[in-house]
Structure 1
Amino acid sequence: MIETDIPGFGLLTVSTLALDFNGTLAVDGRLIPGVGERIEKLAASLRIHVITGDTYGSAQRELSALACQIETLPRAGQVEAKRAFLTSLPHDAVVAIGNGRNDLYMLRAARLSIAVLGSEGMAGELFSAADIVVPHIHTALDLLLFPERLLATLRA
């Protein structure tokens, strides 16, 4: 569990991390270097779910050594499927991280949402749906590894 009290945002107590795969954790179906190590560190305090349409069919191979659960979705209806998966989790305890248009409702359903503007880009709708927008997945994961960093961005 990660817990930090953010003035104006409230007490943030999270136990689950929901992640998109392609464009967020991976580029062209390959895990971005440094992501695996961060996920392993976060797995000591969070349940981690990677929710993906698995465009390249590589998520299982790329994530098999990591402490995370992989939820593979059909190609059609991913927006609703991601939202449905997120709503099955305790809302107030979830951090969601994504970059794609199919992550929109997943981010809206989470207590804390982080959009990643990586090398594959980021859907414009996520600017208004996310609590925080970051330039790289390392930055997003590091916010959770060092939660004091959230204060500067979220406090009011």
Structure 2
Amino acid sequence: MAEASTLVLGATGAHGRHVLDALVARVTRPETITAAGRNQSRLGELASAGFSTAAVDLSDSVGVTELVAGHSDIVSSVVLEREVTYQPVTPQELQAALINTGMDGGLASFLVSLDETIAAGAFARVGDDLSRLLGRPTTGLVEGLTAGAQGLTAG
């Protein structure tokens, strides 16, 4: 089996099925795609169809990080319902890209510093500090991004 280079997150869900079909229709060989999701039964079906598979929950940041690291293209069917390509960039390239979008240089510099701090693991501690501060349960990444994306399309 060829090494998978495209990762489809949420592949076992309704949108993921369409993303996989679209990739295969574009002559992407199933063995070059890792279909990632939570539904074990569906992952078995995808493996039988020739896809590489990975059981992962998006709330498992370590598992997702390890999975993402091995792929050149990341497709997030969970939130955007369109292809997303991962491209590693240096901090300098990130800052230049942010400024090229019209962002203030000071803000771009702050965000790059924050990104470097996150990459170094400074925020890897898991706790209930934020929930206690907010006085309510926190919103997960997928739920927050989905709500944000829906807000953009509604407005």
The higher relative CO (CA closer than 8 Å, separation ≥ 6) is in: 1
Structure of larger gyration radius: 2
Task: From the two aligned structures, give the one with the greater strand fraction.
Answer: 1
TM range (shorter): 0.3 to 0.5
When the two structures are superposed, what TM-score results if normalisation uses the length of structure 1? 0.39
Q: Report the structure, 1 or 2, having the larger helix content.
A: 2
